Amino acid sequence: MKTRFVRRTRKAFTLIELLLVMVILVVLAAVVVPRFAGRSEQARVTAATTDVNNIDNAIEAFETDTGRYPSNDEGVGALVNAPPNVQNWHGPYIKKGVPVDPWGNAYVYRQPGTHNTSGFDLFSMGPDGREGGDDITNWSNNPAGK
């Protein structure tokens, strides 16, 4: 007598297979997610540092053309729109308008500067939105107070 083997076709995953896949995904997420956790804040600091450097260069170009830095009243807006009674303005020195920092705050411009007494101070107040501590500045190579 011959024994007949009945073949069963599988149509779905077993519960154990599903749980095993879930465990593998959780372990992978636990390893990968912490590596990317601080990247968005680091990217914002880098963007603010780049903005401060670009605005600083634009202010220097303004000074080269006009013979003076923008006043406190004119601020960074003088890089986009010609202030009244300014000779040799060849702007706009910033093409996309007056930028705001990655946290949505205006960049702070002071002339004469407290730190750059013969020039100007330019900075972002950083993630906390308050002056001091984690500012990104044009007088320090130390972004975000680090």
The residues near 131 (Cβ < 8 Å, ≥ 6 apart) are: 108, 123, 125
- The widest CA-to-CA distance across the chain, in whole angstroms, is 111
Predicted confidence (pLDDT) at residue 42 exceeds the cutoff of 90: no
Q: What is the pLDDT of residues 82-127, one digit of tens each?
A: 999 889 999 899 988 888 999 999 999 999 888 888 899 999 988 8
Please give the model's pTM, rounded to 2 decimal places: 0.71
Taking the domains of the chain in order of start, what are their residue ranges?
A: 49-79+90-141
Radius of gyration of the chain (CA): 29
For residue 21, count other CB atoms closer than 10 A to its CB: 11
- CATH 3.30.1370.60 holds for 49-79+90-141: no
